[in-house]
Structure 1
Amino acid sequence: MVARPSAVAFDVLETLVNLAPLRTRLEEIGQPAQLLEPWFMRFQRDSMALTLAGDFGSFESVARQALRTDTGHTASEDEIGYVLEGFGRLPAYPDAEPALRRLSEAGLRIGCLTVGSAENTALCLERAGLAHHVDQVITAEKAGTWKPAPSVYRVAASELGTSPGDMALVAVHAWDCHGAKRAGCLAGWCERLEGRHGDVFTAPDVSGADLVQVAERLLRLSSD
């Protein structure tokens, strides 16, 4: 029987906070709002590609280069910087705060494991009213590699003062949960983004329609 974790690390971008306001910033620099999805996907792909090649690039450098490419090199560096600044001002999803609060009140340590920059993540969590529930923020840059490399989840567990097997990763991305499982962690998948869990990925330990349901199901795991 799977034991209840003592710590939970939440993915941030698309799991705790909503990227949608970045559409407005894209429009304000003369780019189409629908560029958000391909740009974010390119950013994630390029980050993973660097990891597979044994290299590392900062959030700012990889996100900036991806946006240069997806705008067809028509956006200025100042305009790209304006869009990137928006990551620090993203709003939380409605289920984020109650899920964090529920786990924190139950005595679990709460972390955020993100590919975002430390500065933007701290600002975002503060503005979104989530920071006071979070014990630790672990970035890809701090870990020295990108998700879903196994070491990034192990670093998160260490930073939260526990072992991988005693930490759960919560995300809306099945690939992220898969990475956590492969690293020996537990995983809680929220179906808000993808609808159905991809069968090419390792099944999570719990899943739910929203983050609150995922949190409740993690707490119901055996404490033996």
Structure 2
Amino acid sequence: MSTRPHAVAFDVLETLLNLDPLRTRMEEIGQSADLLQPWFMRFQRDSMALTLSGDFGTFESVARQALRTDTQHTATEEDIDHVLAGFGQLPAHPDAEPALRRLSEAGVRIGCLTVGRADNTERFLEQAGLARHVDQVITAEQAGIWKPAPSIYRVAAHQLGVSPATMALVAVHAWDCHGAKRAGCLAGWCARLEGRYGDVFTPADVTGADLGEVAEGLLRLPSA
């Protein structure tokens, strides 16, 4: 039976952080705004491929290579610098702050578990007004492995001072929730991005239309 978590680790890219303003940066370097989604998908795929093969690449190195490929090598390194610099200036989704605040006020420890860079993540949290609710930022680079390898979720639980069984991962990606479940954690899935939870993945403990519904669902789980 699922029980109320003592800590919640939020995915950052697309779950808390809105990537849409990067479309403008794509246009500013002479690329199509529509390139954002395939580039981000290639970045995620390549990160996972490195993990599956037993290797690791930093956020910047993998994101750079993916953008070189998706622009058919027409983007200069300065162009790529311009796009990547935008990660530190992106806004939060509207449902992010209320959800983090609700959990924090309920006494739940809050973490951010991201494949992004620590400095960009911390800058984003500060400017979006989320930092005051966050106890710990855990990155793939710090853990030495990318999602959805089980060990990264266990590292997050350790950093938050709880067991995996008492930590929930919250994300808009069903594959991320699946990874957390396979690592022995709880999972809360927000339907904002994907609409329906993929039936090939282990079901999340809680689902909701937005992060607020997910947070309330996690708090309603019975105490151990």
Q: CA deviation at 1:3?
A: 1.1
The residue that corresponds to 2:221 in the other structure is 221
**Cα offsets for 1:27-76 (capped at 9, x unmatched):** 00000000000000000000000000000000000000000000111111
Question: 1:133 is matched by which residue type in structure 2?
Answer: H
The answer to whether residue 99 in structure 2 is matched with residue 99 in structure 1 is yes
Corresponding residue SS for 2:107: coil
Corresponding residue SS for 1:81: helix
Question: 1:48 is matched by which residue type in structure 2?
Answer: M
When the two chains are superposed, the root-mean-square deviation of aligned CA atoms in Å is: 0.5
TM-score, normalised with respect to structure 1: 0.99
Corresponding residue SS for 2:57: coil
The residue that corresponds to 1:187 in the other structure is 187
The answer to whether residue 13 in structure 2 is matched with residue 6 in structure 1 is no
Distance, in Å, in 2 between the alignment partners of 1:163 and 1:74 is 47
Q: CA deviation at 1:2?
A: 1.5
Question: 1:31 is matched by which residue type in structure 2?
Answer: Q
Q: CA deviation at 1:127?
A: 1.1
The residue that corresponds to 1:67 in the other structure is 67
Distance, in Å, in 2 between the alignment partners of 1:22 and 1:3 is 38
Q: CA deviation at 1:113?
A: 0.2
Corresponding residue SS for 1:110: strand
Q: CA deviation at 1:208?
A: 0.2
The residue that corresponds to 1:115 in the other structure is 115
Identity %: 79
Distance, in Å, in 2 between the alignment partners of 1:117 and 1:30 is 25
The residue that corresponds to 2:51 in the other structure is 51
Corresponding residue SS for 1:161: coil
The residue that corresponds to 2:155 in the other structure is 155
Q: CA deviation at 1:128?
A: 1.0
Moved more, 42-51 or 118-127: 118-127
Corresponding residue SS for 1:100: helix
Corresponding residue SS for 1:201: coil
Distance, in Å, in 2 between the alignment partners of 1:38 and 1:2 is 35
Question: 2:3 is matched by which residue type in structure 1?
Answer: A
How many equivalent residue pairs?
224
Q: CA deviation at 1:217?
A: 0.4
Q: CA deviation at 1:129?
A: 1.0
Distance, in Å, in 1 between the alignment partners of 2:22 and 2:62 is 17
Matches within 5 A, 1:139-154: 139-154=139-154
Question: 1:135 is matched by which residue type in structure 2?
Answer: D
**Cα offsets for 1:143-194 (capped at 9, x unmatched):** 1000000000000000000000000000000000000000000000000000
Unaligned runs of 5+ in 1: none
TM-score, normalised with respect to structure 2: 0.99
Corresponding residue SS for 2:2: coil
Distance, in Å, in 2 between the alignment partners of 1:71 and 1:172 is 27
Distance, in Å, in 2 between the alignment partners of 1:190 and 1:53 is 30
The answer to whether residue 120 in structure 2 is matched with residue 125 in structure 1 is no
Distance, in Å, in 1 between the alignment partners of 2:90 and 2:181 is 28
Distance, in Å, in 2 between the alignment partners of 1:91 and 1:139 is 19
Distance, in Å, in 2 between the alignment partners of 1:90 and 1:180 is 26
The residue that corresponds to 1:212 in the other structure is 212
